[in-house]
Amino acid sequence: MVNVVLFLRNFISETWLSIRNCFIVLKYDTTRYLLSNRTLFLLVFCFVPTLLYVSFAGQTASLEIYLHRNGYQWFVGYVLQIYVTFAYIINILVSIVVIQELFLHESAIEILLSSTKRFELFVGKTVTALIVLIVTSIFTWIACVIAFIMWQQDLPITLDQFLTAFLILIIVSLVPLTITILGNTMVMKFRSLSGMGSGFPIFVFFVIPFFIFSSIYLGFATEEILEFSTYFRVFFITNFFLMTEDERLVTSVDVTNAFTFFGIITILAMIFSWIFFWRMETRKKE
């Protein structure tokens, strides 16, 4: 009986300390990121879609002409599509920087790991990455609203539509981020000091889509190349869950293909990230 009480007491105390430490890491890293010059610089990038959007629209025609030609629903879809796409590009940029800083190049890793549990650092840093990403998404949306204000138009989007677009953005950003972070799980498991596990997923989920988007928007490639982007596939899958029954029937084959493509890429990313991890860990010298 005494042993059980002692075990329970230790378990509760250990759990409490773990939760407390995760929050300490979260608070420290989030503050460090969101208040750093680097983040301010990245947030400036949130306005790039706005500027591109405004300049693009200003060159072609006014909002009234768009609405007259294509109708209100088309316009709403168009706005949301552009918002999600551009916001995702920004999230890619931010994710690369944040993951690299948090996992690949954590400068004080040896000092921190010799004082605290790996699990607590890992959870704290993962949640930090998610929070930074969500804050960036919100800033990108604010930038989108500013585009309309600059255009002197009321925002023709309801709250429901905004939330749907925001949800899609968060999911398409979080799925690659989660896989990238999973690439680091072996770092924790096998007590490595390297974060190389995230190298390959960063390349597949962030660097390649970034080049694809850049190529399309700079006019070096057509939109067909989007099929090779993991973003496009995740976007498709996410959309599927938000569709009506009729729409789902029409797009079921495409969605199956998207699932297959995304599944294969995810498995490959995990395998390669673990191979990278092994190479780095076993090559580590004094």
Partner 1 sequence: MTEIHVQHVSKIFRIWRAGLKVRVIDDLSLTVSRGESVLLLGPNGSGKSTLLRMIATLLMPSEGKILIYGYNTRRRSRALLNLLGFMPEECKFHIGISGLTFLCYLGKLIGIREPKKRATEILDDFGLKKWRNIDTSVYSEGMRQRLGLCSALLNEPKVLLLDEPYNNLDQEMRMKLKSFLHKYVENDNIVIAASHNEEHFTNFREIRFPIEKGE
Contacts of 284 (CB under 8 A, 6+ apart): 192, 193, 194
CB nearer to partner 1: pick between 222 and 282: 282
- Amino acid residing at 286: E
Rounded Cα distance, 58 and 69, in Å: 16
Residue type, 87: A
Among 25, 46, 87, 165, binds partner 1 (CB under 8 A): 25
Instruction: Name which position in 114, 152, 222, 244 contacts partner 1 (CB under 8 A).
Output: 114
CA 105, 92, 131 angle in degrees (round to 5)?
Answer: 70
Q: Which stretch binds partner 1 (CB under 8 A): 17-25, 61-69, 198-206, 265-273?
A: 17-25
Cβ 10 to partner 1 shortest distance, Å: 10
Amino acid identity, position 12: I
From the list 47-55, 62-70, 130-138, 274-282, the region that binds partner 1 by CB under 8 A is 274-282
Q: Specify the DSSP class assigned to residue 61.
A: -
Burial of 132 (0-12, 13-18, 19+ CB in 10 A): buried
CA–CA separation, 237 vs 214, rounded Å?
Answer: 23
Q: Which is nearer to partner 1, 75 or 278 (CB)?
A: 278
Residue with Cβ nearer partner 1 (54 or 112) = 112
Query: How far apart (Å, rounded) are the C-alpha atoms in residues 87 and 169?
Result: 7
- By CB under 8 A, name the one of 52, 117, 151, 208 that touches partner 1: 117
Between 189 and 208, how does the x/- string for binding to partner 1 read (CB under 8 A)? -xx-x---------------
Considering only residues 17, 149, 150, 242, which one is a binding residue for partner 1 as defined by CB under 8 A?
A: 17
Identify which of residues 31 and 70 has a Cβ nearer to partner 1 in the complex.
31
Q: Which of 1, 5, 108, 218 binds partner 1 (CB under 8 A)?
A: 108
Residue choice 9, 68, 69, 279 for contact with partner 1 (CB under 8 A): 279
| Contact criterion met (CB below 8 Å) for 172 and 234 | yes
Q: What is the DSSP string of 205-225?
A: IIIHHHHHHHHHHTTSS-GGG
Binding residue for partner 1 (CB under 8 A) from 2, 3, 222, 283? Answer: 283
How many residues in the shown chain lie near partner 1 by CB under 8 A?
31
Q: 130 Cβ partners below 8 Å, 6+ apart?
A: 174, 177
Q: Is 9 in the site for partner 1 (CB under 8 A)?
A: no
Phi-psi label, residue 219: left if phi above 0, alpha if psi -120 to 50, beta otherwise: left
- From the list 13-21, 195-203, 227-235, 266-274, the region that binds partner 1 by CB under 8 A is 13-21
- Residues in contact with partner 1 by CB under 8 A are 14, 17, 21, 24-25, 28, 32, 36-37, 107-108, 110-118, 120, 190-191, 193, 278-279, 282-286
